[in-house]
Amino acid sequence: GEQGALAGRHVLVTSGPTHEAIDPVRYIANRSSGKQGHALAAAAAAAGARVTLVSGPVAIPDPEGVETVHVESAREMLAAVEAALPADIAIFAAAVADWRVADATPEKMKKDGSGLPPLALIENPDILATVAHRQSARPALVVGFAAETQNVIAYAQAKLARKGCDLIVANDVGGTGVMGGDANTVHLVTRDGVENWPTLAKQEVATRLMAHIAGLVPVRTGV
Ligand code: C5P
């Protein structure tokens, strides 16, 4: 058959939200649907790659032809990502919770009249930054997403530098229902500049992004 642009490559994708436990029945989450990340994993598989998708809790099916690893929390996601390395390309599309509850309780919290629970938060690991800064088994191309409601390009440029990744796909999630919706308006931010894309279906963003990314990874020589 025809060889895809990513034949012989291992592509790792994170997708969806994370759930951070408060107690056994409650959690902190966000509005990520996983649609963009899952579409990227499917597009990478369609381009001939071996794909590992590490997904937080989502309501959409596992993409066909993709090895999908299901996780809940940011810490579980980091462990699954590290277990999936090495990869040629890593794309971090998950909306990872920035914070988790410091002392998630093993039993359900009760309204016992002793006041409101304090819910102290602590920082989660940054999965993208951890992988991008690895000394060994760093993927040749590390791609991050940046969902912003203002100063989209400036924040993305700062994020590119701080997180040590090669490309940031920035999108404006202010107002118009990008999170959970089917369309996305993205800006590709690298050290060399910014490429603005028109509003497209998330499927189309995924297909075009995988073609773009395939053109960025170093060409394999020899066998
Ligand atoms: O800092 P911010 O959350 O906006 O960065 C977004 C990018 O970083 C996304 O690619 C997201 O998947 C990744 N990220 C991560 N681990 C975190 C926070 C964000 O991988 N704890």
Whole-number Å distance, alpha carbon 144 to ligand 1 midpoint, is 7
User: What is the residue-wise DSSP string for the chain?
Assistant: -PPPTTTT-EEEEEESB--EEEETTEEE-----SHHHHHHHHHHHHTT-EEEEEE-S-SSPPPTTSEEEE--SHHHHHHHHHHH---SEEEE--B--SEEETT--SS-----SS------EEEPP-HHHHHHT-SSS--SEEEEEEEESSSHHHHHHHHHHHHT-SEEEEEE-SSS--TTSSEE-EEEEETTEEEEPPPEEHHHHHHHHHHHHHTTSPPP---
* Residue 23 to residue 15: CA distance in whole angstroms: 24
What is the pLDDT at residue 1?
46
pTM of the model: 0.94
Tell me how far the alpha carbon of residue 102 lies from the centroid of ligand 1, in angstroms.
20
pLDDT of the residue at 173: 81
pLDDT score at 60: 98
- 158/10 Cα distance (integer angstroms): 28
pLDDT in tens, the chain (223 residues): 467 999 999 999 999 999 999 999 999 999 999 999 999 999 999 999 999 999 999 999 999 999 999 999 999 999 999 999 999 999 999 999 999 999 999 999 998 888 888 899 999 999 999 999 999 999 999 999 998 888 999 999 999 999 999 999 998 887 656 666 888 899 999 999 999 999 999 899 999 999 999 999 877 665 5
- The three state secondary structure string of 70-135 is ECCCHHHHHHHHHHHCCCCEEEECCECCCEEECCCCCCCCCCCCCCCCCCCEEECCCHHHHHHCCC
Mutate to test the pocket of ligand 1, among 32, 124, 133, 145 (most ligand atoms within 8 A of CB): 145
ω into 57 cis (within 30 of 0): no
Which of 38, 76, 128, when mutated, tests ligand 1's pocket best, judged by the most ligand atoms within 8 Å of its CB?
Answer: 128
Residues with CB under 6 A from ligand 1: 14, 74, 92, 94, 96, 124-128, 144-146, 159
Which residue, judged by its Cα, is nearest atom 13 of ligand 1?
128
- Compute CA 95 distance to the chain's CA centroid, rounded to the nearest angstrom: 6
Distance 127 CA to ligand 1 centre (A): 7
Let me know the angle formed at the C-alpha of 8 by 64 and 13, rounded to the nearest 5 degrees.
50
Distance from C-alpha of 97 to C-alpha of 59, rounded to nearest angstrom = 18
